[in-house]
Amino acid sequence: MKSETGFDHALYDRFPTEARPDGEVRDLERIWASPKGWRRLTAVNNNYVGFWYIVTAFGFFLAAGVLALGMRIQLAAPMQDVLGVDTYNQFFTMHGTVMMFLFAVPAVEAIGIMLLPQMLAARDLPFPRLSAYAYWAYFVGGTMFFLSLFVGLAPDGGWFMYPPLTSIAFSPGINTDFWLLGIGFIEISAIAGAIEIIVGVLRTRAPGMTLDKMPMFAWAMLVFAVMIVVAFPSVILCTMLLEIERAFNWPFFDATRGGDPLLWQHLFWFFGHPEVYIIFIPAAGLMSMMVATVAQTELVGYRLNVLALVATGFISFGVWAHHMFATDMPRVSAGYFSAASMAVSLPAGIQVFCWIATLASGKIRWSTPALFVVGSVVIFTMGGLTGVMVGMVPFDWQAHDTYFIVAHLHYVLMGGMVFPMFAAFYHWHGMTSSRALSDHVGRWVFWLMFAGLHITFFPMHLSGLMGMPRRIYTYMPGRDLDLLNLISTIGAFIMAAGILLFLIDCTRRFRFTVDNDVGNLYGGGTLEWLPTGLYSTRSIPVITSREPLWDRPDLPREVAEGRYFLPNSATGHRETLITSPLFAEPQYVQLMPGPSAWPLSAAIFTAGFFLSLTVQAYAFAIFCGLVAVVSTLRWVWETDRPIKQDRADIGAGIEMPIAITGPQSHGWWALNTLLVVVGMIGFMALFAYFYLSGINGEVWQTPPPLGETVVILGVEALALLGAWGGRRVLALRSGRMAEDLPWIIQAAAAALLTGALWLDVTGWLESGLHPTESGMGATVFMLSVLQGQVVAVAIVMAIYLAFREARGIMTTPTNVTMDIVGRFIGYCAIQGMVFTLVPRIFPGG
Amino acid sequence: MIDALWGWPPPVLDPAGPYADKVTTLAWALFGMGVVVTAIVCAALWLAVRGSPRMKALIGGERTIWIGGIAFPGVVLLGLLVWGLTLTASLTQPIRGDEMRIRITGEMWWFRVQYLNADGDIVMEDANELHLPVGVPVVLELEGADVIHSFWVPHLSGKKDMIPGRRTLLRVQADRPGEFGGLCAEYCGSQHALMGFVAIAHKESDWQTWFDDRTTRVARTEMLAETAPPDAMPYPGDAAAYPMELGTLERYDARRGMRLFMESGCAACHRIAGTEANGLAGPDLTHVGSRRSLGAGILPNNRGTMMGWIGDSQSIKPGNRMPSYDVLSAEDIGHIAAFLELQK
């Protein structure tokens, strides 16, 4: 194999080395030890954060499930008044929102944080504090959001929140704001998690674990994270638009002033449909791994399966408008979206038959996870088939927004995500519990859930065809709907009984542990089953196959004896090995931050910020916002702390640099991923501009004069030059102190960005455009809002840079913080140019 | 009417016109496909787990994926797609422009129905009921007055959204007389569940009689109202149009009902052609007496339900835009109901 980075593959032959001294394990234990007592909350290690994450997500699953039971009681008979209309509407809105945003996405992200480092034999994910922040933002924000239900302030516009129903005219209460801002920090935590996972999967794999030896779950998580990065910006933007429309009366969705209600639907479903695959893909990855373990043979069609995952990710971005077939879209568009919706079921078919072929090529060992795996194939297939049906436009016109769809989506999500998740819980709980759950009870859990699912949801196909629309709090008596609904309600309680049984077994047997686990209950062959402590594996093995534990029975012992990479702490700090993205060749040793209260504080005050905005406590919101920013900066401050040592022995006499900068560094990768997110938000905002100009061109007016545009572009170009120049000057100072000039240049660039934005905004105002008056005003000034956000961040960054210089921790010739600030400011300048130029040269109308 | 809303046989599978008919055929084909493919997957799973070693060896390779996961679904999906696209195209033929037009506007939480003439002017207004001639294609102009609603009469056609700021067109045609229930299918707020509708198909000649009767009678009533002295609050009709004995024999007096209707605020939101009641916010009540239901398809239309609705609509359909007139005595409400009953 050709080397990717110049690393000599012959060096792998030095492993396994001789056994290392035992004292090194005690060093690792000391360095990776987690804080005790209350300070445990400041832990950032994935064993803790991942576990908390899973428990919290599962808690929300139960809570949203209870809401569903409430709804089923209300619908058990016609014209009941158990919940009442307002409560029912809040229940179904919260059920959907909580299941999608507080359970499904966080749950798969949680499983990723829990399993990925061990599966890749990394010490931890590359940004443990970011994981902790993502978790706490989700925990605090999600809990507060859910509690709104108990004071009757929960949103009631459906999880899809279509304006104008959710506009201020028809939803004057703050219920809707709770949804919009509540979703805000969940978006933040999803994006944070996605960045973490992308960099983790691409850069922290064990040496030799090339892309085609990666566990299927890692592939799935990579696709998942990339999809979040592309899809979530759309929902971030549309929640911002709606909140701005509600708070400041900018008419994005108001048809009377040149907005359009369908703009929301395009933006929402551009996120909303990929969201389904975002949930499904990681679960499919888990399925592929469990199928192999259940059958005790390697996955048949590994490459086809990878192809299927990637294809699903791609195609899922081309199907969003199949939620809008009934909006009278042009025939050609309907045809395209119908075709794409059919196409996306092909990769699903590939995966289903991969699993069937794998089961056939091995010998199945029946167990609880095996039952859940096989059960979910059946359920998912049924849901997929009704999906094909509603992908047919004429049939969708009938089935759309009826209980047929309720049945379809629950089959897909239960078969595609919930059942695999239960399977995964049984399959992997040995990693984190000191006692095993009962397999006997587990089978009861499965059969109750499996039967309950069909009894609940199968009749709904029929009630939909009989004319029962979705989201109704009651229905008329005297027709056969009564019976179907009663059956569904009974089924829901059977399923709930299964989940209750699972909970009982968990309380009786599950005992959390980080170092005394029961281990590999079902004979899995991947690295997470190596002996581990908080530091993950003692040493990081060289990988030569997809199921190393099956192929090399001695591997666990050799790893535990420290006979591979990084058998000790090479620097005396927490660290992990960064490898190259394709072939996983060792590149450098990354220093990892340890426990800290700052991510926790940043998260609490981020949530506080959004919640006080919701209840219109603006002063307190500003306070929370400031504390959150300071906490974040304080946490980041500690993560770029240069140490004297610049090279380390990573085992067998191989030396690697420590904490490098530039395109090879993991920080650079994370920043680029973040910039994709920011860029996508801007891209979607430009889409909104063009979309409205196409629909309501009559409210479009002439842009400011060209000369002004040229001046603004010139200022932005100067800022771009500054962003580059700051880093250049720093490089010229190689070997000396950094001094003030580099940060002053960056600060000047940030100031230029502010000036350019000011010129742009005042130019539009002088031309007579106003954000509240037309769809054009709203979308043009929305671009300014987005630019204002990044400029504000750029200013904070420049000040932060000055502080670091003042403390003398600006290394020369390159520095990670300087790199990041410079690149970010450069990005802001480019975004500013695009935002200035586009509406001024494409005036629409 | 209420019975016509939902239920057995499933209206999606019980088409009453050409725009629903072809979709029903497609639906049956799709269900068949679903059953067959589910059976194939379950059988493959069964053989993979329980099959003979020879069978397992046959299934346990990449060939299974190529056949079962790529070739087979590829062919099925392609076939379906072609069918779906052809059918979509045939159901969305461009509208000629000379069809009969009826405008239906979704409001929170009822449907405004306006019959248009060839010039697009409104000639008659009604609510929550659509009368159609059998065998005649009708173009519905769908609009949303406040939020997004969706118009759905499954016996006649698939649904189409009613979007504020847009006008969507939906073609329907009934091929047999009958009553076909419909509903709002897009979540539109609190009382989305109780937003029903009925389409009534008449034989073409019956429909024409019905339509002429309605339009001409309105014209006559208008004329009467114009000639009547305003202070006398006349009963809007004559002996030929309304059997007077109803108003005289019974306990409630439609004339007093009319005065109450005009003075208690009803007229601010409701219109009755030929009277000074010209409110536009609520349903037009010119023909309320002949409607099959009240409250957008949720109550049968009779004296008792009408009184109940006027006096306490908020407990029947909480949050609806009409306040409960519990300030009026039961007696007064009875008079109003008697008056409304006569507005046929």
How large is the greatest C-alpha to C-alpha distance in chain A, in angstroms?
87
Average pLDDT over residues B287-301: 91
- Whether omega for the bond prior to residue B9 falls within 30 degrees of 0, making it cis, is yes
Contacts of B63 (CB under 8 A, 6+ apart): none
Q: Are A354 and A299 in contact (CB under 8 A)?
A: yes
Average of per-residue pLDDT values in chain B: 87
Residue A126 phi/psi, 5° resolution?
Answer: -70, -25
Which helix or strand (DSSP H or E) is residue A649 part of? strand A647-649
C-alpha to C-alpha distances, B247 to A298, A520, A527, B304, B342, nearest whole angstrom: 87, 87, 89, 16, 9
- How far is A621 from chain B, CA to nearest CA, in Å? 30
C-alpha to C-alpha distances, A30 to A124, A310, A409, A568, A635, nearest whole angstrom: 16, 41, 48, 11, 22
Residue A589 phi/psi, 5° resolution?
Answer: -100, 125
Q: Looking at residue B2, what is its pLDDT? A: 52
**What is the amino acid identity at position A131?**
S
Q: Is B79 in CB contact (< 8 Å) with chain A? A: no
Q: Looking at residue B21, what is its pLDDT? A: 93
Range of the domain at A204: 46-509
Give the total number of structural domains in chain A.
Answer: 2
Q: Do B42 and A378 touch (CB under 8 A)?
A: yes
Q: Give the pLDDT band of residue B248 (cuts 50, 70, 90).
A: very low
- Which residue among A509, A526, A561 closes a domain? A509
Q: Could you give the 3-state DSSP secondary structure of residue A174?
A: coil
Q: Is A478 in CB contact (< 8 Å) with chain B? A: yes
The reply to whether B1-60+94-201 and B209-341 are identical in fold is: yes
Question: pLDDT tens digits for B211-239?
Answer: 998 888 765 454 444 444 334 444 444 44
Q: Do A385 and B33 touch (CB under 8 A)?
A: yes
Tell me how far apart the alpha carbons of residues B18 and B24 are, in angstroms, rounded to a whole number: 10
Q: Do A467 and B10 touch (CB under 8 A)?
A: yes
CATH at A343: 1.20.210.10
Q: Looking at residue A662, what is its pLDDT? A: 80
Q: Give the pLDDT band of residue A480 (cuts 50, 70, 90).
A: confident
Tokens matching residue B196:
């029903």
Residue of B nearest to A374 (CA): B45
Q: Are A162 and B192 in contact (CB under 8 A)?
A: no
Tell me how far apart the alpha carbons of residues A208 and A777 are, in angstroms, rounded to a whole number: 55
Average pLDDT over residues B95-120: 93
- Which residue among A509, A524, A552 closes a domain? A509
Average pLDDT over residues A639-647: 80
- Residue given tokens 């055929």 in the structure block: B25
* B1-60+94-201 CATH pick, 1.20.1050.10, 1.10.3720.10, 2.60.40.420, 3.30.70.270: 2.60.40.420
Conformational region of residue A420, where left means phi above 0, alpha means psi within -120 to 50, and beta covers everything else: alpha
CB half-sphere exposure, B252, CA atoms < 13 A: 22
C-alpha to C-alpha distances, A783 to A201, A232, A483, A836, nearest whole angstrom: 34, 18, 53, 9
Question: pLDDT tens digits for A242-300?
Answer: 999 999 999 999 999 999 999 999 999 999 999 999 999 999 999 999 999 999 999 99
Tell me how far apart the alpha carbons of residues A282 and A220 are, in angstroms, rounded to a whole number: 5
Average of per-residue pLDDT values in chain A: 92
Chain B residues whose beta carbon lies within 8 Å of the beta carbon of residue A467: 5-7, 10-12, 154, 181, 183
Q: Looking at residue A651, what is its pLDDT? A: 87
Q: Are A430 and A518 in contact (CB under 8 A)?
A: yes
- How far is B121 from chain A, CA to nearest CA, in Å? 23
Tell me how far apart the alpha carbons of residues B130 and B197 are, in angstroms, rounded to a whole number: 8
**Number of inter-chain CB pairs under 8 A, A vs B:** 284
Q: Could you give the 3-state DSSP secondary structure of residue B14?
A: coil
- Residue given tokens 């008329």 in the structure block: A476
Domain B209-341 classification at class level: mainly beta
Residue A800 lies in a domain: yes
Average pLDDT over residues A671-682: 95
Q: Looking at residue B230, what is its pLDDT? A: 39
Q: Indicate whether B26 pLDDT > 60.
A: yes
Tell me how far apart the alpha carbons of residues A437 and A368 are, in angstroms, rounded to a whole number: 10
Chain B residues whose beta carbon lies within 8 Å of the beta carbon of residue A479: 3, 5-8
Report the predicted TM-score, pTM, of the whole model to 2 decimal places: 0.94
Residue of B nearest to A396 (CA): B158
Average pLDDT over residues A496-523: 92
Tell me how far apart the alpha carbons of residues B2 and B198 are, in angstroms, rounded to a whole number: 9
Q: Are A83 and A145 in contact (CB under 8 A)?
A: no
Q: Looking at residue A176, what is its pLDDT? A: 92
Q: Indicate whether A189 pLDDT > 60.
A: yes
Q: Indicate whether A442 pLDDT > 70.
A: yes
Least confident of A121-125, A732-736, B315-319: A732-736
Residue A784 lies in a domain: yes
Q: Looking at residue A738, what is its pLDDT? A: 78
Q: Are B323 and B301 in contact (CB under 8 A)?
A: no
Q: Do B60 and A362 touch (CB under 8 A)?
A: yes
Q: Are B165 and A164 in contact (CB under 8 A)?
A: no
Q: The complex's ipTM?
A: 0.92
Q: Give the pLDDT band of residue A821 (cuts 50, 70, 90).
A: very high
Q: Would strands B299-300 and B293-294 be described as parallel, antiparallel, or unpaired?
A: antiparallel
Among A445-449, B232-236, B339-343, name the most confident range.
A445-449
Residue A455 lies in a domain: yes
Tell me how far apart the alpha carbons of residues B113 and A116 are, in angstroms, rounded to a whole number: 59
- Residue given tokens 């002949």 in the structure block: B290
Instruction: Tally the residues of chain B.
Output: 344
Q: Looking at residue A304, what is its pLDDT? A: 96
Tokens matching residue A682:
């801007």
Tell me how far apart the alpha carbons of residues A169 and A175 are, in angstroms, rounded to a whole number: 13
Q: Do B185 and A469 touch (CB under 8 A)?
A: yes
High-pLDDT (> 70) share of chain A, %: 100
Q: Looking at residue B242, what is its pLDDT? A: 43
Q: Looking at residue B1, what is its pLDDT? A: 39
Q: Looking at residue B237, what is its pLDDT? A: 42
Q: Do A476 and B154 touch (CB under 8 A)?
A: no
Residue of B nearest to A297 (CA): B60
Residue A141 lies in a domain: yes
Residue A648 lies in a domain: no
Q: Do A359 and B48 touch (CB under 8 A)?
A: yes
What residues pair up with B179 in beta bridges, in sequence order?
A: B200
Which residue in A458, A296, A338, A323 sits closest to A400, CA to CA? A323
Compute, in degrees rounded to 10, the torsion defined by CA atoms B267, B272, B277, B281: 50
- Which residue among A454, A485, A509 closes a domain? A509
Question: pLDDT tens digits for A297-308?
Answer: 999 999 999 999
Residue of A nearest to B67 (CA): A353
Tokens matching residue B308:
């109940």
Higher pLDDT, A450 or A39: A450
Average pLDDT over residues B297-325: 93
Q: Exposed (0-12), middle (13-18) or buried (19+): which is A451, by Cβ within 10 Å? A: middle
Q: Are A564 and A15 in contact (CB under 8 A)?
A: yes
Question: pLDDT tens digits for A547-593?
Answer: 999 999 999 999 999 999 999 888 888 999 999 999 999 999 998 88
Compute, in degrees rounded to 10, the torsion defined by CA atoms A800, A805, A808, A810: 90
- Whether omega for the bond prior to residue A813 falls within 30 degrees of 0, making it cis, is yes
Question: pLDDT tens digits for A147-178?
Answer: 999 998 999 999 999 999 999 999 999 999 98
Q: Looking at residue B250, what is its pLDDT? A: 61
Q: Indicate whether A513 pLDDT > 50.
A: yes
Q: Is A362 in CB contact (< 8 Å) with chain B? A: yes
Q: Do B159 and A162 touch (CB under 8 A)?
A: no
Question: pLDDT tens digits for A730-750?
Answer: 888 887 887 888 899 999 999
Residue B111 phi/psi, 5° resolution?
Answer: -115, 130
Instruction: Give residues 43 to 102 of A whose Cβ lies within 8 Å of B.
Output: 84-86, 89
Q: Is B64 in CB contact (< 8 Å) with chain A? A: yes
Q: Is B321 in CB contact (< 8 Å) with chain A? A: no
Question: pLDDT tens digits for B132-147?
Answer: 999 999 999 999 999 9
Q: Looking at residue A399, what is its pLDDT? A: 96
Q: Looking at residue A497, what is its pLDDT? A: 97
Tell me how far apart the alpha carbons of residues A44 and A128 are, in angstroms, rounded to a whole number: 5
Higher pLDDT, A2 or A700: A700
Q: Quote helix, strand, coil % in chain A, to nearest 5.
A: 70, 5, 30
Q: Looking at residue B228, what is its pLDDT? A: 43
Residue of B nearest to A165 (CA): B147
Boundaries of every domain in chain B: 1-60+94-201, 209-341
Question: pLDDT tens digits for A341-358?
Answer: 999 999 999 999 999 999
